[in-house]
Amino acid sequence: MGKVVTREVLQRECERLRREGKRIVFTNGCFDILHAGHVKYLARARSMGDVLVIGLNSDESVRGIKGALRPINPENERAEVLAALAS
């Protein structure tokens, strides 16, 4: 499975992982301007299972949560940074 996938691909992959008996951990966030606290949080989440799935808030969602001047980094760039952490 690629690091950045659609919901449909994720659903199929999670079904396969469950059949294999894998524990899937899910978290989500804005992850705009990734910092050490984010990295520690994600490492802890990853330690709780076999596979970590991260849901990334859309740009529209981030604006609603953090205000009109956010996000600083667009959704596709935030996804790229998160994917790089798995490498």
Return the structure tokens found at 38. 């984010």
Between the two ends of the chain, the Cα-to-Cα distance in Å is 13
Please give the pLDDT value at position 2.
67
Please give the pLDDT value at position 1.
61
Please give the pLDDT value at position 86.
86
- Whether 2 is in a domain gets the answer no
- Whether 42 is in a domain gets the answer yes
- Whether 1 is in a domain gets the answer no
As averages over each run of 10 residues, the pLDDT of the chain (87 residues) reads 88 98 98 96 97 97 98 97 89
pTM summary value: 0.90
Structural domain count of the chain: 1
Name the strand (E) or helix (H) holding 46. helix 36-46
